[in-house]
Structure 1
Amino acid sequence: MERDDLKLAEAEGEVPPAATPEATAAPPWVSATVPAVFVVLWSSAFIAAVIGTDAAPPLLLTFSRFAIAGVLLAVVALVSKSPWPKGKLLLHVVVTGLLMQAVQFGAFYTAIGAGLPGGVVALIQGFNPVLIALMAGFFVGEEITRQQWLGFAIGGAGVALAVAGALDFSTSAIVLSFVGLLGLSAGTVYQKRFTQGADVRSSTAVHFLASAPVMLVMTLTLEDPKVTDWGAFGGSLAWIVLINSVGTFLLLNFMLKKQAASRVGTLFFLTPAVTALLAWLVIGQTLNLSAIIGLVLGGAGVLLAARK
């Protein structure tokens, strides 16, 4: 998701102008409540996806999200006069976008459309830092500590329990979720290696705009792209685009101004549990005991593996 672009940009000192310190400090209660609001809004993306895929085919929802968000972010990049990637950098940005957007969300939304609970999908997506650390260890030579290996083991056990608890939904949906995870992790590593100099706003717009045609071709060839409930589809799409693609972007920048990136990153470990809670409250989606235990173990394991 967009969080990887922002975290890398913050680490390199390339946070957009909106993330520069303001003259007037925000009230303490704002800084205290923003993290909780952020986690709820980020987790809500999975609930919106469940509602959206009930009203329309998943790849059609994915295409619509990319097309609208891409245009909106392109306008933001043009208005803010952000530099656009060119030449080889543009090619690398496109590859990153296809991995992090087309592969990730195309697979995740299809898995959700097949009935896989949002909390399980969120847990699998949350395993991204673990997979990235493993990739860095095997392909880049970065050292993996004993604490990280322990975290991998606990997190892996949690994912296994959560997945086992969801096997009655669809095995293919579970496979697709891991395909989405692989796209996100590979895209993040590729981005860190080849697109460090790209502006966050313009490069994210390219991610969406490059992925939209791919999703259009896929929905036209693999699905019957018809909307059965325009109200639910429009509402979920508006929420995904405006709240999850723009609102959380602004909140994340705000937190990166106030706190270290590593501390902000720990908020994502709460996403699976909050997603499961929202799914129960909003759409009545429940999990069995093994899946719930898996969510707890998975979050604890990923948190342990990500700690320095």
Structure 2
Amino acid sequence: MRSFFFSFFVPALFVWLWSTGFIGAKYGLPFAEPFTLLLIRMLLTLVLLVGLAWLMKTRWPGWRGAGHLAVTGILVHGCYLGGVYYAIQDGMASGIVSLIVGLQPLVTAAAAVVFLKEAVSGRQWLGLALGLIGVSLVLVEKFGGTGVESGISPWALAWTLVALAGISMGTVYQKRHGTGADLVAGTIIQYAAAATLFAIGAFALESREVEWSLQLQLSMAWLVLGVSIGAILLLMWLIRQGAASQVASLFYLVPPVTALEAYLLFDERLGGLAMVGGLVAITGVALVVTQKKSA
């Protein structure tokens, strides 16, 4: 029973928490612009994390390590979350956003070949090809659809690609310049750097008007406590138990979980071609991720 709890249930819970970030964004965006919403989320999260760091007597990295963590935070959290939130605001279904940014292991593997000179197996090349084919099928159906609900705005697609590029480059950067910093301290520095980016974006591009409806308050509470805090603490526990690879192997389940949640909560529907494309893309990501796990 303990083996089942440790090897499947806890990693699956982490993946579910991560998937709800897309849902929470869609609930909150009608009441605040993307950078403004993200800035508030980051500031609230930082208050809680700083308190946690004080209780845990967290050890802080040096200036050089903090600089690398800040760059990672701007890419992994700033560009990724900013791109996701703007894509959803511009009308892209949260399930489609999750599917496209879920290609991160594929893009990271390709970037690792270029920047880190890592070897790629035939299985991984097959996964890369399947991922691209799958997402292409989804986009063909969506761009070819009729009506506002079925179409995809070019701006929404562009923001999604910003998110994908950010989290992929951030992963490669972190792998090259990993500091080995305490996870809480590293997360605080990354979130602070992302908050700075969101503040610049909010003051430069947005009105910063917020309608504090009950829906926004509940959405913000979940994004802060459930995703930004809960998922991170769960990840800490998994890493300490030596099960980080379990999380990686289940990450390819995030897009279908998000699509199911979006269908149940928002009635977001995928056509036949998009569903086939999603399955092909998820299979491609699974090939790459499981290959990394066994390597």
Shared fold by TM > 0.5? yes
1:218-250: per-residue Cα shift (whole Å, max 9, x none)?
112212222245212111111111001122223
Alignment of 1:95-106 (within 5 A): 95-106=71-82
Check conservation: 1:71, 1:209, Cα contact below 8 A: no
- For residues 263 and 35 of structure 1, the distance between their equivalents in structure 2, rounded to whole angstroms, comes to 6
1:173-188 residue pairs with structure 2 within 5 A?
Answer: 173-188=156-171
Q: So what's the TM-score if we normalise by structure 1?
A: 0.86
Give 1:137 deviation, angstroms: 0.9
Root mean square deviation of aligned Cα? 1.9
* Deviation for aligned residue 1:29: 6.5
Aligned pairs for 1:120-135 (under 5 A) are 120-135=96-111
Q: Equivalent of 1:94, from 52, 65, 70?
A: 70
CA distance in 1, matches of 2:284, 2:178: 30
Query: Displacement of 1:128 after TM fit?
Result: 1.0
Aligned counterpart, 2:250: 267
Q: Would you say 1:149 and 2:132 are equivalent positions?
A: no
Gaps of 5+ in 2: 144-150
Distance 1:236 1:248 in 2: 15
Query: In the aligned structure 2, how far is the partner of 1:234 from the partner of 1:289?
Result: 36
1:248-287 aligned within 5 A? 248-256=231-239, 260-287=243-270
Give the direction of change, closer, same or farther, for the CA distance of 1:28–1:141 in structure 2 (3 Å limit): closer
2:44 is aligned, of 49, 60, 68, to 68
Determine the structure 1 residue equivalent to 2:18: 42
Q: Which residue of 2 aligns with 1:301?
A: 284
Q: Is the 8 A contact 2:14 2:247 kept in 1?
A: no
SS in 2 for 1:172: helix
Contact kept? 1:50, 1:112, Cα under 8 Å: yes
How far the C-alpha of 1:30 sits from its partner, in A, is 4.1
Superposition pairs of residues 22-61 of structure 1, within 5 angstroms: 27=2, 30-31=5-6, 33-61=9-37
Following superposition, the deviation at residue 258 of structure 1 comes to 5.4
Residue deviations 1:71-109 (CA, integer Å, cap 9, x gap): 221221222111112222121111111111111111111
Q: Read off the aligned partner of 1:236 and give its amino acid letter.
A: S
Cα pair 2:39 2:199 within 8 Å, conserved: yes
Q: Distance in 1 between matches of 2:141 and 2:23?
A: 19
Secondary structure class of the residue paired with 1:165: helix
- The one-letter code sitting in structure 2 at the alignment partner of 1:148 is Q
Task: Quote the Cα distance in structure 2 between the aligned partners of 1:33 and 1:87.
Answer: 38
| Farther-moved stretch of structure 1 (222-231 vs 134-143) | 222-231
* Cα offset, 1:116, TM superposition: 0.8
CA distance in 1, matches of 2:23, 2:193: 25
Amino acid paired to 1:265: A
Question: Could you tell me which of 85, 88, 91 is aligned with 1:109?
Answer: 85
**Shift of residue 266 of structure 1?**
1.6
The 3 A distance-change label for structure 1 pair 307 and 187 is same
Preserved CA contact (<8 Å) 1:85 1:93: no
- Alpha-carbon distance in 1 for matches of 2:283, 2:63: 42
Quote the offset at 1:165 in angstroms: 3.2
TM-score by length of 2: 0.89
In the alignment, the residues of structure 2 paired with residue 82 and residue 247 of structure 1 have an alpha-carbon distance, to the nearest angstrom, of 18
1:245 to 2:198 alignment = no
Task: Write the distance in 2 (CA, Å) between the matches of 1:210 and 1:253.
Answer: 21
Code of the residue aligned with 2:74 in structure 1: it is L
Structure 1 residues 287 and 190 mapped into 2: Cα distance closer, same or farther (>3 Å)? same
Secondary structure of residue in 1 paired with 2:142: coil
The answer to whether the 8 Å contact 1:35/1:255 transfers is yes
Match of 1:15 in 2: none
Contact 1:71–1:205 under 8 Å retained in 2? no
How far off its partner does 1:254 sit?
Answer: 3.9
User: Number of matched residues?
Assistant: 283
